[in-house]
Structure 1
Amino acid sequence: MTTTSDSAVREFIAEHRPAFLDDLADWLRIPSVSADPGRAGEVRRSAEWLADKLRSTGFPVAEVWETENGGLPAVFAEWPSGDASAPTVLVYGHHDVQPAAREDGWDTDPFEPVVTDGRMFARGAADDKGQVFFHTLGLRAHLAATGRTAPAVNLKLLVEGEEESGSPNFAALIRKHADRLAADVVIISDTGMWSADTPTVCTGMRGLADCQIDLFGPSQDIHSGSFGGAVPNPATEAARLVAALHDADRRVAIPGFYDGVVELTEQERELFAELPFDDTEWLSVAKSRATLGEQGFSTLERIWARPTAEVNGIWGGYTGPGGKTIIPAEAHLKLSFRLVAGQDVEKVRQAVAAWVTAQLPAGIRHEIVFPGATRPCLTPLDHPALQSVVRAMGRAFEQKIRFTREGGSGPAADLQDVLGAPVLFLGISVPSDGWHSVNEKVELDLLAKGVETSAYLWGDLAEHWNAAD
């Protein structure tokens, strides 16, 4: 094992930082908006730009991969270590971006990067081009500081082109190329930290299942005076479903919903409590007046580690001005369920469907549709690869690294399910970076810390992976 010198890494990064930022700015100028069919060519140009840059970085393989159904291209690259015992690491990110236009409220052109006060402003600066790109300079620093001609791990990259459009073809892509994507560890660089002063590593993401429930009663709207109180009302039954969704302690009341849930350990609860969290400040971001949720859990525990059921929409009957005394013919609900490690998406769907059927009276016909779902993922705190990420970040930031989870959902579980590898998260973005918002930016000093973390990580993973074996 060749030791990576911290000073050598930092000197290399400082020397090459200006050229690195110029390259990143060139990439950010490509408006790779996957949601806009008119910019499909720009998404392709972005993929080709990245593949060319990875080849110039030294990757012997860098390819643009097509997706099914006329989807947008991804980029795959790999660089074998040459060491027989080296683990294989797959880094995931995405090169497509959210829509953006000056008239949305941007201070500058979103696709013409501007550097001000140590920040680079542009769409994709943090989400996710900046966080993908820091691996290129980090890898070069790793090689320069160790004298290696190839990375200490078998390194692969998969950079998606449809993440901002819901990754409709991603699962099929990784199933098709599962042999080439095979890895011991997956690292996702499409996430963030608690703050610049409190660097953190994310250890898991919640899954997601959602549905629409359509309720049908009379074959048409009917008079509430002539028939009210004597036939079932779909709008009333929709309200009764919503009222029955949680018990008095705000737990989801669907039988079987909590089956398999991996409960928080005392260590995890203590680690969450170490974070400088303030309910009042959080409520200002949430645009809400009070916290509320499952009894017995803190706010962070509720949004990171507990499953939830939310009513996303409810409608039916007359909603115009004045009154209209009817029993409506139909009513509708949209529900979403955030899932945590241990929950099975299909079993949750079955439990929801059975619960809805049991709640409804005779005379109400219903239909329930479940669109696509995302599985949860969680990496144990003692996993050797997670500890490598923590050590590498600790060296770069020169302080203790704490732990978070992500309350939202993403493609991590697809990678975990298809490849059978643990998923880790390495990101340096902070909440003020404005993902999906106007004036998105990345803090350049934090970007450099991401580069440095990447430089340390490959050697640490190789050393401790083999030791764990």
Structure 2
Amino acid sequence: MDVREYIEAGASGFFAALKDWLAIPSISGDPDRRGDVRRSAEWLQGHLRETGFPVVEIWETGTTDDPGLPAVFAEWPAADPAAPTIVVYGHHDVQPVEPLAEWETAPFEPVERGDQLIGRGSSDDKGQIFFHTLGLRAGMAASGATAPPVTIKMLVEGEEESGSPHFARLLRDRRDRLTCDAIVISDTTMWAADVPSMCTGMRGLTEASVSLYGPSMDLHSGSFGGAVPNPLHAMAGLLAGLHDGRNRVTLKGFYDGVVELTEEERDSFARLPFDEAEWLATAGGSRAAFGEEGFTTLERVWARPTAEINGMWGGHTGPGGKTIVPREAHAKVSFRLVAGQDPRAVQEAFAAYVAENAPPGVKAEVAFPSGDGVRPCFSPIDSPGVLAARRAMERAFGKEVLFTREGGSGPEADLADILEAPLVFVAVGLDEDRIHAPNEKVEKPLLLKGAEVAAYLWDEFAGQGRAEAGS
């Protein structure tokens, strides 16, 4: 029986098991669901044992004073001790389901409708991590092997949807168990069902809040306006000054070290069937594309750093007029970062920018509520791991695989840095899967195609050998 025959024969059992897992409401952001997150981990532990993993463990996270939610670790050694070792990363926690009234079906009573499986976590990320179990068995059945061609370690965390607060510490504490040559991430999307693609990077993120203080009380604008500093005027100037006439961020050193797009990447992006007018319609009916000069919309979203003003307030905002010089003004700003940038360096540059540009008589305070932020991650498209995964995807889909990146942020940089291994993104989700929204779904044929990719992937890595897979 070849890989496809095995997957087709096992499809009904695969989806039945996945629905059992999806029925567990493992919402990590809800304290009342902590028990359900643990049930989800225990369910996965049992399933991985049934799959054949000889080592399956639940790993606790956090500390006594700051308890976390459980992750699941599994390991299946290759028959050849010289074979590469690959870590597969995903998460078993899910997003909240509100607004519940907008769901057409119960979010934790998964339903199959034609080619779709509807339920919270079906795409993000239970469905996508789950296809590896079927793919692994399919590859071994096709070859008649009793062990995979590479050593496979799975790490499925339970806090990703809550910002992975304990994940970096878990990686450091368990680093000896997670030694590997490459890390496969199955928590992203493809361009379209008929346009297979691979993500090669995710942007980082840091957030800041700014407060400006002037007089000790709101002042009558007729008596004091134009004669003392106005914190709202000062804030408007500060925020407007974050960009120059080419829509480039003006912070000193902001672009230092930024990994520029290669011509091959730009060509791959340009070959995607992107309709800007349709994209604008999905962007809340936006009427024009906008951003840094010299880059396309996709390049701006995926591969260029940005500064965004998320909110600004101060003074009188109630009904009617109130002619004052307000005593204070506030704003929230966020920066999306790309490969080569450090969130902490951007924080320092922003704090320096505010200090240098706040006018005399205005006291400025800057805070970073999300701590050190999230670092960007990136995998060169000509790296051995990416090339191996691309070959596996092209075998499964029977067509050329293009490259994308993602504008969002996650814990992938911690994985790469702490485990000192390159990232390879292998996923079959779609942007239209309504991830994080009501009526989340996944395309069943794509999950099966993902299993086929996984079946071929380990042979591709094994063919490279350990040194090349991790280079």
TM class, shorter-chain normalised?
A: over 0.9
Q: Per-residue displacement from partner, 1:414-449 (whole Å, max 9, x unpaired)? A: 111111111111110112211011111111111100
- Aligned residue runs from structure 1 range 43-442, under 5 A: 43-68=37-62, 69-100=66-97, 103-287=100-284, 288-370=286-368, 371-372=370-371, 373-442=373-442
Distance 1:82 1:222 in 2: 78
Provide closer, same or farther for how the CA distance between residues 101 and 327 of structure 1 changes in structure 2, counting only shifts above 3 A: closer
**Any idea what SS the aligned residue of 1:213 has?**
strand
Indicate conservation of the 8 Å contact 2:181/2:466, yes or no.
no
Structure 2 residue runs of 5 or longer lacking an equivalent are none
Q: 1:40 aligns with which of 18, 24, 34?
A: 34
Indicate conservation of the 8 Å contact 1:94/1:160, yes or no.
yes
Q: Please report how far the alpha carbon of residue 465 of structure 1 lies from its aligned counterpart in structure 2 after TM superposition.
A: 3.3
2:458 is aligned to 458
**Any idea what SS the aligned residue of 1:385 has?**
helix
Q: Which moved more, 1:458-467 or 1:181-190?
A: 458-467
Q: Please report how far the alpha carbon of residue 366 of structure 1 lies from its aligned counterpart in structure 2 after TM superposition.
A: 1.3
Q: Please report how far the alpha carbon of residue 102 of structure 1 lies from its aligned counterpart in structure 2 after TM superposition.
A: 8.0
Indicate conservation of the 8 Å contact 1:32/1:97, yes or no.
yes
Q: Please report how far the alpha carbon of residue 103 of structure 1 lies from its aligned counterpart in structure 2 after TM superposition.
A: 3.5
**Any idea what SS the aligned residue of 2:190 has?**
coil
**Any idea what SS the aligned residue of 2:117 has?**
strand
Distance 1:49 1:459 in 2: 28
CA RMSD between the two structures: 1.3
Q: Per-residue displacement from partner, 1:385-418 (whole Å, max 9, x unpaired)? A: 1011101010111111000001111111111111
Q: Please report how far the alpha carbon of residue 467 of structure 1 lies from its aligned counterpart in structure 2 after TM superposition.
A: 7.8
Which portions of structure 1, spanning 4 or more consecutive aligned residues, are displaced by more than 6 angstroms? none
Distance 1:246 1:465 in 2: 47
Distance 2:268 2:5 in 1: 34
Q: Please report how far the alpha carbon of residue 468 of structure 1 lies from its aligned counterpart in structure 2 after TM superposition.
A: 3.4
**Any idea what SS the aligned residue of 1:349 has?**
helix
Q: 2:15 aligns with which of 18, 21, 28?
A: 21
Provide closer, same or farther for how the CA distance between residues 46 and 466 of structure 1 changes in structure 2, counting only shifts above 3 A: closer
Indicate conservation of the 8 Å contact 1:101/1:110, yes or no.
no
Q: Per-residue displacement from partner, 1:21-71 (whole Å, max 9, x unpaired)? A: 110010011111111111111110000000111011111111111111111
Distance 1:96 1:378 in 2: 24
Q: Per-residue displacement from partner, 1:320-362 (whole Å, max 9, x unpaired)? A: 1111111111111111111111112222111111111111112
Q: Please report how far the alpha carbon of residue 140 of structure 1 lies from its aligned counterpart in structure 2 after TM superposition.
A: 0.5
Q: Per-residue displacement from partner, 1:257-316 (whole Å, max 9, x unpaired)? A: 111111112111111101000100100111111100001100000001100000001111
The share of aligned pairs that are identical, in percent, is: 59
**Any idea what SS the aligned residue of 2:120 has?**
coil
Q: Please report how far the alpha carbon of residue 319 of structure 1 lies from its aligned counterpart in structure 2 after TM superposition.
A: 0.4
Structure 1 counterpart of 2:140, which letter? L
Q: Which moved more, 1:322-331 or 1:304-313?
A: 322-331
Indicate conservation of the 8 Å contact 1:283/1:289, yes or no.
yes
Q: Per-residue displacement from partner, 1:75-102 (whole Å, max 9, x unpaired)? A: 1111111312211111111101111268
Q: Please report how far the alpha carbon of residue 113 of structure 1 lies from its aligned counterpart in structure 2 after TM superposition.
A: 1.1
Indicate conservation of the 8 Å contact 1:181/1:419, yes or no.
yes
Distance 1:250 1:142 in 2: 50
Indicate conservation of the 8 Å contact 1:187/1:423, yes or no.
yes
Distance 1:131 1:309 in 2: 32
Provide closer, same or farther for how the CA distance between residues 326 and 19 of structure 1 changes in structure 2, counting only shifts above 3 A: same
Q: Which moved more, 1:100-109 or 1:232-241?
A: 100-109
Structure 1 counterpart of 2:315, which letter? G
Structure 2 counterpart of 1:420, which letter? E
Provide closer, same or farther for how the CA distance between residues 467 and 92 of structure 1 changes in structure 2, counting only shifts above 3 A: closer
Q: Please report how far the alpha carbon of residue 209 of structure 1 lies from its aligned counterpart in structure 2 after TM superposition.
A: 1.1
Distance 2:100 2:110 in 1: 16
TM-score w.r.t. the length of structure 2 is: 0.96
Indicate conservation of the 8 Å contact 1:57/1:136, yes or no.
yes
Q: Please report how far the alpha carbon of residue 231 of structure 1 lies from its aligned counterpart in structure 2 after TM superposition.
A: 1.4
**Any idea what SS the aligned residue of 2:201 has?**
strand
2:6 is aligned to 12
Aligned residues between the structures: 463
Indicate conservation of the 8 Å contact 1:156/1:181, yes or no.
yes
